[in-house]
Amino acid sequence: MASQKVGFLDSGVGGLSVLLEVRSLLPHVDMHYIGDSAWCPYGTKSTEVICERVGKLAEYLISQDVSLIVVACNSATIQAVDWLRSNYPVPFVGTEPAVKPASARTQTGVIGVLATEASIGGKKFLDLIHSAAENVEVVTQACPGFVKLVENGVLSGPQVEEAVRTYTQKIIDKGADFIVLGCTHYPFLRETIENIVPPGITVIDSGASIARRVDSLLSDKTGSGQLLIETTGDLDRLKTLVPRLLGDIGKSAVLSKYSD
Protein backbone atom coordinates (compact mmCIF):
# COMPACT_ATOMS: atom_id res chain seq x y z
CA MET A 1 0.00 0.00 0.00
CA ALA A 2 1.29 3.49 -0.86
CA SER A 3 2.21 5.67 2.13
CA GLN A 4 -0.18 8.39 3.13
CA LYS A 5 0.11 11.91 1.76
CA VAL A 6 -1.22 15.06 3.46
CA GLY A 7 -2.83 17.83 1.41
CA PHE A 8 -2.89 21.48 2.48
CA LEU A 9 -4.86 24.38 1.07
CA ASP A 10 -4.88 28.10 1.80
CA SER A 11 -5.64 31.37 0.05
CA GLY A 12 -1.90 31.80 -0.51
CA VAL A 13 1.38 31.21 1.30
CA GLY A 14 0.02 31.65 4.85
CA GLY A 15 -0.77 27.96 5.30
CA LEU A 16 2.94 27.26 4.97
CA SER A 17 3.16 28.31 8.64
CA VAL A 18 0.94 25.30 9.41
CA LEU A 19 2.90 23.05 7.06
CA LEU A 20 6.09 23.96 8.97
CA GLU A 21 4.55 22.70 12.22
CA VAL A 22 3.26 19.50 10.61
CA ARG A 23 6.61 18.95 8.94
CA SER A 24 8.56 19.30 12.17
CA LEU A 25 6.36 16.65 13.82
CA LEU A 26 6.11 14.35 10.77
CA PRO A 27 9.31 14.81 8.72
CA HIS A 28 8.86 11.70 6.54
CA VAL A 29 5.26 12.20 5.50
CA ASP A 30 4.70 13.30 1.88
CA MET A 31 2.93 16.65 1.57
CA HIS A 32 1.13 18.47 -1.22
CA TYR A 33 0.36 22.14 -0.63
CA ILE A 34 -1.71 24.41 -2.81
CA GLY A 35 -2.00 28.16 -2.27
CA ASP A 36 -4.72 30.07 -4.07
CA SER A 37 -2.69 33.27 -4.44
CA ALA A 38 -4.57 34.21 -7.63
CA TRP A 39 -7.69 34.55 -5.44
CA CYS A 40 -6.00 35.92 -2.32
CA PRO A 41 -7.27 37.30 0.02
CA TYR A 42 -10.16 35.07 1.08
CA GLY A 43 -10.69 37.24 4.14
CA THR A 44 -12.78 39.80 2.27
CA LYS A 45 -14.73 37.31 0.11
CA SER A 46 -18.22 35.88 0.53
CA THR A 47 -18.96 32.39 1.85
CA GLU A 48 -20.10 31.35 -1.65
CA VAL A 49 -16.85 32.41 -3.33
CA ILE A 50 -14.72 30.81 -0.60
CA CYS A 51 -16.67 27.51 -0.90
CA GLU A 52 -16.31 27.53 -4.68
CA ARG A 53 -12.56 28.09 -4.51
CA VAL A 54 -11.74 25.61 -1.74
CA GLY A 55 -14.02 23.04 -3.40
CA LYS A 56 -11.92 23.26 -6.58
CA LEU A 57 -8.66 22.97 -4.64
CA ALA A 58 -9.96 20.06 -2.56
CA GLU A 59 -11.08 18.18 -5.69
CA TYR A 60 -7.63 18.62 -7.16
CA LEU A 61 -5.85 17.43 -4.01
CA ILE A 62 -8.16 14.40 -3.80
CA SER A 63 -7.36 13.58 -7.44
CA GLN A 64 -3.68 13.56 -6.35
CA ASP A 65 -4.43 10.86 -3.75
CA VAL A 66 -4.07 12.79 -0.51
CA SER A 67 -5.36 10.91 2.54
CA LEU A 68 -6.57 14.01 4.34
CA ILE A 69 -6.68 17.74 3.75
CA VAL A 70 -5.55 20.41 6.18
CA VAL A 71 -7.57 23.56 5.61
CA ALA A 72 -4.58 25.71 6.56
CA CYS A 73 -6.68 28.84 6.60
CA ASN A 74 -8.89 30.17 9.38
CA SER A 75 -11.15 32.07 6.98
CA ALA A 76 -11.79 28.98 4.83
CA THR A 77 -12.31 26.80 7.90
CA ILE A 78 -14.79 29.18 9.47
CA GLN A 79 -16.68 29.81 6.23
CA ALA A 80 -16.41 26.48 4.43
CA VAL A 81 -15.13 23.47 6.38
CA ASP A 82 -18.62 22.12 7.19
CA TRP A 83 -19.52 22.40 3.50
CA LEU A 84 -16.28 20.65 2.50
CA ARG A 85 -16.93 17.84 4.98
CA SER A 86 -20.40 17.21 3.63
CA ASN A 87 -19.29 17.27 -0.03
CA TYR A 88 -15.98 15.41 -0.20
CA PRO A 89 -14.97 11.94 0.98
CA VAL A 90 -11.69 12.68 2.83
CA PRO A 91 -11.12 13.92 6.39
CA PHE A 92 -10.58 17.68 6.68
CA VAL A 93 -8.52 19.14 9.51
CA GLY A 94 -9.60 22.73 10.11
CA THR A 95 -7.72 25.71 11.52
CA GLU A 96 -9.47 27.72 14.19
CA PRO A 97 -8.09 30.69 16.13
CA ALA A 98 -6.54 29.46 19.39
CA VAL A 99 -9.27 31.04 21.53
CA LYS A 100 -9.61 27.95 23.73
CA PRO A 101 -6.02 27.79 25.06
CA ALA A 102 -5.81 31.58 25.38
CA SER A 103 -9.07 31.67 27.38
CA ALA A 104 -7.92 28.86 29.62
CA ARG A 105 -4.63 30.61 30.45
CA THR A 106 -5.51 34.31 30.62
CA GLN A 107 -4.88 36.00 33.97
CA THR A 108 -6.40 39.36 33.05
CA GLY A 109 -9.61 37.86 31.65
CA VAL A 110 -9.05 39.64 28.33
CA ILE A 111 -7.68 38.12 25.13
CA GLY A 112 -7.16 39.65 21.70
CA VAL A 113 -7.76 37.91 18.38
CA LEU A 114 -6.17 39.15 15.17
CA ALA A 115 -7.92 37.64 12.15
CA THR A 116 -9.56 38.37 8.81
CA GLU A 117 -13.01 39.92 8.35
CA ALA A 118 -14.33 36.60 7.05
CA SER A 119 -13.19 34.85 10.24
CA ILE A 120 -14.36 37.47 12.70
CA GLY A 121 -17.80 37.69 11.06
CA GLY A 122 -18.26 33.93 10.71
CA LYS A 123 -20.84 31.96 12.72
CA LYS A 124 -18.31 29.25 13.54
CA PHE A 125 -16.05 31.85 15.13
CA LEU A 126 -18.90 33.36 17.17
CA ASP A 127 -19.88 29.85 18.31
CA LEU A 128 -16.25 29.24 19.33
CA ILE A 129 -16.23 32.38 21.46
CA HIS A 130 -19.53 31.41 23.10
CA SER A 131 -18.34 27.93 23.95
CA ALA A 132 -14.64 28.50 24.73
CA ALA A 133 -14.49 32.01 26.13
CA GLU A 134 -17.64 32.32 28.18
CA ASN A 135 -16.16 34.36 31.02
CA VAL A 136 -13.46 36.07 29.02
CA GLU A 137 -13.56 39.36 27.14
CA VAL A 138 -12.53 38.70 23.54
CA VAL A 139 -11.29 41.75 21.65
CA THR A 140 -11.23 41.11 17.90
CA GLN A 141 -9.33 43.05 15.27
CA ALA A 142 -9.39 42.56 11.49
CA CYS A 143 -5.93 43.07 9.94
CA PRO A 144 -6.44 43.36 6.17
CA GLY A 145 -2.92 44.71 5.58
CA PHE A 146 -1.08 41.73 7.09
CA VAL A 147 -1.96 39.21 4.37
CA LYS A 148 -0.82 41.55 1.61
CA LEU A 149 2.50 42.14 3.37
CA VAL A 150 3.21 38.42 3.70
CA GLU A 151 2.12 37.62 0.13
CA ASN A 152 4.53 40.36 -1.03
CA GLY A 153 7.36 38.97 1.10
CA VAL A 154 7.45 41.98 3.43
CA LEU A 155 8.01 40.17 6.74
CA SER A 156 9.72 42.91 8.75
CA GLY A 157 10.62 46.60 8.62
CA PRO A 158 8.73 49.87 9.01
CA GLN A 159 5.58 48.86 7.08
CA VAL A 160 5.09 45.78 9.24
CA GLU A 161 5.84 47.72 12.42
CA GLU A 162 3.29 50.38 11.57
CA ALA A 163 0.63 47.80 10.74
CA VAL A 164 1.33 45.89 13.97
CA ARG A 165 1.02 49.09 16.04
CA THR A 166 -2.29 49.93 14.36
CA TYR A 167 -3.83 46.49 14.75
CA THR A 168 -2.71 45.76 18.32
CA GLN A 169 -3.43 49.11 19.99
CA LYS A 170 -7.05 48.43 20.95
CA ILE A 171 -6.18 44.98 22.30
CA ILE A 172 -3.31 46.37 24.40
CA ASP A 173 -5.49 49.21 25.72
CA LYS A 174 -8.15 46.71 26.85
CA GLY A 175 -5.58 44.87 28.98
CA ALA A 176 -5.25 41.59 27.08
CA ASP A 177 -2.46 39.22 28.16
CA PHE A 178 -2.86 36.91 25.13
CA ILE A 179 -2.93 37.74 21.43
CA VAL A 180 -4.22 34.95 19.20
CA LEU A 181 -2.90 34.92 15.63
CA GLY A 182 -6.17 33.88 13.98
CA CYS A 183 -4.89 33.80 10.41
CA THR A 184 -2.20 31.47 9.12
CA HIS A 185 -0.33 34.29 7.37
CA TYR A 186 0.31 36.10 10.66
CA PRO A 187 2.90 33.75 12.25
CA PHE A 188 5.30 34.97 9.56
CA LEU A 189 5.06 38.41 11.22
CA ARG A 190 5.36 37.02 14.74
CA GLU A 191 8.83 38.41 15.43
CA THR A 192 7.73 42.00 14.84
CA ILE A 193 4.47 41.47 16.72
CA GLU A 194 6.32 40.09 19.75
CA ASN A 195 8.85 42.93 19.64
CA ILE A 196 6.16 45.59 19.60
CA VAL A 197 3.54 44.39 22.08
CA PRO A 198 4.30 44.75 25.83
CA PRO A 199 6.33 41.84 27.28
CA GLY A 200 3.43 40.59 29.43
CA ILE A 201 1.45 39.59 26.33
CA THR A 202 1.81 36.04 25.01
CA VAL A 203 1.33 35.58 21.27
CA ILE A 204 -0.09 32.20 20.23
CA ASP A 205 -1.32 30.40 17.12
CA SER A 206 -2.86 27.00 16.34
CA GLY A 207 -0.09 25.44 14.22
CA ALA A 208 1.22 22.97 16.80
CA SER A 209 -2.24 21.67 17.74
CA ILE A 210 -3.09 21.14 14.05
CA ALA A 211 0.12 19.14 13.67
CA ARG A 212 -0.88 16.90 16.61
CA ARG A 213 -4.32 16.40 15.07
CA VAL A 214 -2.80 15.38 11.71
CA ASP A 215 -0.46 13.00 13.53
CA SER A 216 -3.42 11.37 15.29
CA LEU A 217 -5.25 10.80 11.99
CA LEU A 218 -2.42 9.18 10.03
CA SER A 219 -1.83 5.46 10.32
CA ASP A 220 1.23 5.37 8.02
CA LYS A 221 3.90 8.02 8.59
CA THR A 222 6.65 6.36 6.55
CA GLY A 223 6.69 8.41 3.31
CA SER A 224 9.86 9.78 1.75
CA GLY A 225 9.24 13.35 2.87
CA GLN A 226 8.34 14.64 -0.59
CA LEU A 227 7.11 18.22 -0.60
CA LEU A 228 5.19 19.67 -3.55
CA ILE A 229 4.08 23.29 -3.28
CA GLU A 230 1.79 24.72 -5.94
CA THR A 231 0.30 28.14 -6.50
CA THR A 232 -2.55 29.41 -8.62
CA GLY A 233 -0.67 32.73 -8.65
CA ASP A 234 2.77 33.74 -9.78
CA LEU A 235 5.37 30.94 -9.78
CA ASP A 236 8.36 33.30 -9.73
CA ARG A 237 7.00 34.97 -6.63
CA LEU A 238 6.53 31.57 -4.98
CA LYS A 239 10.14 30.70 -5.82
CA THR A 240 11.29 33.84 -4.03
CA LEU A 241 9.01 33.37 -1.03
CA VAL A 242 9.47 29.68 -0.21
CA PRO A 243 13.13 29.88 0.91
CA ARG A 244 12.28 32.86 3.10
CA LEU A 245 9.19 31.30 4.65
CA LEU A 246 10.35 27.69 4.99
CA GLY A 247 14.13 28.00 5.35
CA ASP A 248 15.89 24.64 5.03
CA ILE A 249 12.62 22.74 4.70
CA GLY A 250 11.91 24.63 1.49
CA LYS A 251 15.16 23.48 -0.15
CA SER A 252 13.81 20.06 -1.07
CA ALA A 253 10.41 21.36 -2.20
CA VAL A 254 9.22 21.04 -5.80
CA LEU A 255 7.43 24.26 -6.77
CA SER A 256 4.91 24.52 -9.58
CA LYS A 257 2.07 26.52 -11.03
CA TYR A 258 -1.46 25.10 -10.90
CA SER A 259 -4.19 26.40 -13.19
CA ASP A 260 -7.80 25.32 -12.70
Q: Which positions touch ligand DGL (CB under 6 A)?
A: 10-11, 14, 40-43, 73-75, 116, 119, 147, 183-185
Q: Is 175 left (phi over 0), alpha (psi -120 to 50) or beta?
A: left
Give the residue with the Cβ less far from ligand DGL, 4 or 17: 17
Report the alpha-carbon distance of residue 37 to residue 17 in Å, rounded.
Answer: 15
Does 40 qualify as catalytic in the annotation? no
Give the residue with the Cβ less far from ligand DGL, 55 or 175: 55
Work out the burial of residue 214: count CB atoms within 10 Å of its CB; fewer than 13 is exposed, 13-18 middle, 19 or more buried: buried
Report the alpha-carbon distance of residue 151 to residue 41 in Å, rounded.
Answer: 9
Q: How far is CA 203 from the centre of its chain?
A: 15
Catalytic residue among 40, 51, 143, 183: 183
Residue 12 has, within 13 A of its CA and on its CB side, a CA count of 27
User: Closest separation between CB of residue 50 and ligand DGL, Å?
Assistant: 9
Report the alpha-carbon distance of residue 118 to residue 76 in Å, rounded.
Answer: 8
Report the alpha-carbon distance of residue 174 to residue 257 in Å, rounded.
Answer: 44
Does 51 qualify as catalytic in the annotation? no
Instruction: Say if CB 147 and CB 12 are below 8 A apart.
Output: yes
Residue 155: φ, ψ to 5°: -105, -10
Give the residue with the Cβ less far from ligand DGL, 34 or 73: 73
Give the residue with the Cβ less far from ligand DGL, 5 or 185: 185
Report the alpha-carbon distance of residue 64 to residue 258 in Å, rounded.
Answer: 13
Nearest to 24 by CA among 255, 227, 235, 166: 227
Instruction: Say if CB 66 and CB 223 are below 8 A apart.
Output: no
User: Closest separation between CB of residue 183 and ligand DGL, Å?
Assistant: 4
Residues marked active site are found at: 73, 183
